[in-house]
Amino acid sequence: MNYKKIYRDKDHSGAYLFFGKEKYLIENAVGYLLNKYVKGTEAFNYTKFKGSEAKVEDIISACETYPVMNDKKIVLVRDLVDFLSENDLKDSFYDFLDNLSDFVILIFWDTGNLKKTTKFYKEFHKKDRDMDFAKLSMPDLNNFVKGYFIRKGKDIKPSEVSLFIEESGYNSKNEDVSLLDLKTEMDKIASHAKDKKITREDISSSITENIDTNIFRFLDAMMNRNTEVAIIELHNLYKLSEASLKIFTMIIRQVKNFLFYKILSEKNMSQVEIMNKMEVSKFEFDKKIKMKERNFTKEFLIDFYDELIKADELFKTSSIDEKVIMETLIIKYCNDF
């Protein structure tokens, strides 16, 4: 069920499943319900549980306790996958969910990609209580971008909205760009724009461009096995206030794209065919892949991609700090002749 049902319904009660890629939209929906039903009484009528700590009996108790000086109360269980892994849910729990009092709104927030084959998902789906906060369609995305800039006190023309969306990579199938990422970009653009109207120049100076530039410099240093410069460029990326894991993801994606382009180019495919096969936007293809890939040899990309995959495995299976793993990778690779 599309998440917009939350805003269309005049009244809310019972259990809901919130899931999907857009954390920003989920946060807004939770905020909307809190503001509508328990504003000013949150201390008495809003209960939050972490999935890893929540027990079935605690959730039942919270839902059965009457609201205080209010008609409604809200109970939120975040990190649903953790909750399901820690609790063996019986049929009696699902019966309980089906018979919640009208005064309670129970929200299960999936932050871990709940499988749609699970009994839990199916129970909510068959009752139209599964709220999907998926990536926005193009019309909704256009409205979101324009509206956000307006709330920032800025004007932006449709052509500039389209340019921003294309540069952001939001609609690229193989790029995990979210509305939170777009919000960060728009905050940056709005704060640096000299005039009320957002221009193409304002957009082109977005922080993403700075990150990309640093990534290209980092990869160049790695190809030349320059340990000192590679570590400096890595630290420059960290200074951009990006999470270290996200930086790693962006690096591995860029290497993968360069390598994919080189492999496809050897197959006598047209540039349009290559772009469609890679499932990237025209802007990204022209400005971030074609213009830069020639700086890196295929041998380097294959070799370094293998090292990145090994580092990714360390990220997932060890407790070693991500920055330490990256710096160790740099030193090992640059000195392994």
DSSP 94-117: HHHHHT--TTEEEEEE--S---TT
Per-residue pLDDT, 337: 44
Q: What DSSP character marks residue 226?
A: -
Q: Give the residue with greater pLDDT, 76 vs 317.
A: 76
Give mean pLDDT, residues 58-86: 96
Tokens 């939001």 belong to: 170
Per-residue pLDDT, 50: 94
Token output for 34: 């809190």
Per-residue pLDDT, 172: 64
Give mean pLDDT, residues 54-67: 96
- What's the mean per-residue pLDDT of the chain? 89
User: Rounded to an integer, what is the distance from CA 127 to the centroid of its chain?
Assistant: 27
Tell whether pTM > 0.85.
no
Q: Which stretch, 290-294, 304-308, 313-317, has highest mean pLDDT?
A: 304-308
Per-residue pLDDT, 35: 97
Question: Which of 39-43, 134-138, 238-242, 332-336 has the weakest average pLDDT?
Answer: 238-242
Residue 93 has pLDDT above 60, yes or no: yes
Per-residue pLDDT, 181: 86
Per-residue pLDDT, 235: 84
Between vectors from CA 136 to CA 1 and to CA 247, what angle results, nearest 5°?
120
Closest CA to 128 of 21, 22, 20, 6: 6
Per-residue pLDDT, 153: 95
Per-residue pLDDT, 210: 59
- Residues in contact with 312: Cβ distance below 8 Å, sequence separation at least 6, in sequence order: 248, 252
Distance CA 221, CA 230 (A): 5
Please give the order of strands across the beta sheet that includes 104-109.
46-50, 73-78, 104-109, 14-19, 130-132
Alpha helices in 112-243 (DSSP H): 119-125, 138-151, 158-168, 179-192, 200-204, 207-223, 227-239
Residue 260 has pLDDT above 60, yes or no: yes
Residue 336 has pLDDT above 80, yes or no: no
Per-residue pLDDT, 53: 94
Residue 9 has pLDDT above 70, yes or no: yes
Distance CA 138, CA 161 (A): 11
Give mean pLDDT, residues 117-132: 95
pLDDT in tens, 147-203: 999 999 999 999 999 988 877 778 765 456 789 989 988 998 999 888 999 998 888
Counting DSSP H helices and E strands in the chain, the numbers are: 19, 5
Distance CA 237, CA 214 (A): 6
How does residue 39 score in pLDDT terms, banded at 50, 70 and 90? very high
Per-residue pLDDT, 285: 86
